[in-house]
Structure 1
């Protein structure tokens, strides 16, 4: 298992795996990456940031990391039309397209890779979800 103390930064790791470095906030404290590709990212506390819409990061974000994708994401939600939807997968199929795909369960959302050029600052949310947080369960 790799840990951030003996490995590249999480942002460098993302770039080496075909993902933009700005996908995760600057406030990432550490991460672990197992041999089977399970990535765990640790933040001091849950936080909010914004790309195109507001995004909520839990204090631990998990996913299976492979080249160009984070699959089975847990701990990341995106605001869509006043609702908070869990992000399930994040995929960069073709970097030349300039697009990144977010699977938010009920839909796929394409965003410009340019939104993710730099790691954003993430504002602490304490231990609670955003006040307008309504997470829709996926059936």
Structure 2
């Protein structure tokens, strides 16, 4: 059962469709919130949205995916629907994300960053257990110019006109 209702979609400050735009916007939002941009490496995204008033975010992908964070040797599963509430340096009430610890898959519920951007990132479970890693393990090296240009795609570009027209005499 989906947590994303028509009411939530209607209240969204931002909503995007298509993998390319969702990839750019999700990384941009993570960066804006002081979180590492590679934290949610979803594939074939169909929709993403953000309700600014509440901080509610959703990401919908075609299929469940698994991703291995090589720098920390951890495997993570992402459901077709990932939801959370975001605020600066924090993700709360996360759904749709599990990590493998030893032989068990453990649900993650909260993520927060201490002393961004060089500090530690902490992952918590609903039972209160937590584990810390370096923030750098979840960063994707990208050229900022490409991200900025791609983030501007799909947004209306206002044409700036002078308030007073100047004519040569």
* TM-score of Structure 1 vs Structure 2, range by shorter chain: 0.7 to 0.9
Higher helix share: 2
Higher strand share: 1
Moved beyond 3 Å, runs of 4+: 5-8
**Is the deviation greater in 26-35 or in 16-25?**
26-35
CA RMSD, 1 decimal: 2.0
**Is the deviation greater in 6-15 or in 17-26?**
6-15
Stretches of structure 1 lacking an aligned partner (at least 5 in a row) = 120-139
Stretches of structure 2 lacking an aligned partner (at least 5 in a row) = 1-11, 142-169
- TM-score, normalised to structure 1's length? 0.77
Larger Rg: 2
Q: In the TM superposition, what whole-angstrom CA distance separates every residue of 1:73-104 from its partner, at most 9, and x where no partner exists?
A: 01000100110000010101321552100002
CA distance in 2: counterparts of 1:93 and 1:39, whole angstroms: 21
Q: Would the aligned equivalents of 2:42 and 2:61 in 1 still touch at CA under 8 Å?
A: no
Alignment partner, residue 68 of structure 2: 50
Q: Provide the aligned length of Structure 1 versus Structure 2.
A: 119
Q: In the TM superposition, what whole-angstrom CA distance separates every residue of 1:1-42 from its partner, at most 9, and x where no partner exists?
A: 111358861101110111110001152613111131111111
- TM-score, normalised to structure 2's length? 0.64
Alignment partner, residue 55 of structure 2: 37
Bigger relative CO (Cα 8 Å, ≥ 6 apart)? 1
